[in-house]
Structures are given as structure tokens and as C-alpha cells.
Amino acid sequence: MQSLILTTIEKERLIECLNKRVFGISNLMIKRLGQKVFSINLGDYIYIKTKKHESIITGPFIIVEKVNKLKILQNKGVWYKIDKNYVDRDLPWWIVEGFNWLIYFDYKNNETLSIEEKYLIDNNIFIKDYGILDQITEVKLFNYINTHGSIFRIKNL
């Protein structure tokens, strides 16, 4: 089991990602993350960090197969590189405009957990902005957010 951390800047984008159950990143970010990012599998976890004023981490979400009707240019495991000319209208606007690698996730109801990163740092749990978490950090984050996290209610837009 692995966990992936991805970051968005605005809470509105986080909410849209959660409503659509998809996250998108650019070709440049794929290059920065390296080939290891393609080792993420179905059933692994994704956490999403929001960094506007206060850094908040939300999750974990279970990685699933794609659900939208898209023209796929390339598929590497659970990552889907899409053709921007044939995108599903259900994708968040900001993904359509600037990101072409997608990863899908799911959760059981309209609630998930979130925690301010400062509480993690106070407990010596340091989370990077992007990438696969090492096993020790993954376990610490999972346990801490499940013990101390606040419920984040997801409202459909």
C-alpha cells in the first residue's frame, strides 16, 4: 500500500476535485515527480493538500479506475494522459485548462477528514507538497488524521 500527496492552491479547487473525484497534474509535474509516481496502484491512497492561507491536508481517498469518457493518449497504471480536444464536460475547468494527467479517487460518503498541517508539524509529521510518502510518514499521517482530523463536509456545487 502506498500513499500519494498532491497539492492545490485554492479551497474551491479542492472542493471541485472532491465533487468530481479526480485530480489533474501537468506534464511538467509528472517529470518532476519521476517514474516512481507511476507505481501508484488501484486501492492505494491519495491525500490532497491545500495551500492558500493555512495548509490543510484532506483524505485519505482510495485510488480507483477512471470513470469519465475521455480520449486517452497514454495510460500508465492509474494515471491517464488525456487529449484536451476530447474532454468530458464533467471535469473541473482548471484541469481542462492546464492539466492533462488525471488520477481518479473515491470515498464512501460526502464527508472526509482534514487537518491543518501545523498540527502535523507540531507532532513531527512532515508532509511534502507532491509525491509518494515514505512508509513511516504514511502510517503517521493515516493514524493522526484518523484520530485527530476534523470532518470536512463535501457539498456538491
Give the chain's domains with CATH numbers: 3-153 (3.10.590.10)
Average pLDDT, the chain: 86
CB 54 within 8 Å of CB 10: no
pLDDT of residue 67: 66
CB 92 within 8 Å of CB 22: yes
20 versus 103: the higher-pLDDT residue is 103
Residues in CB range of 5: below 8 A, 6 or more apart: 46, 47, 48, 49, 57, 127, 128, 129, 130, 131, 132, 133
Q: What is the pTM of this model?
A: 0.88
**C-alpha distances out from residue 84 to 27, 67, 87, Å:** 13, 17, 6
pLDDT of residue 89: 67
Ranking 84-88, 109-113, 131-135, 153-157 by mean pLDDT, the lowest is: 153-157
pLDDT exceeds cutoff 50 at 2: yes
pLDDT of residue 147: 92
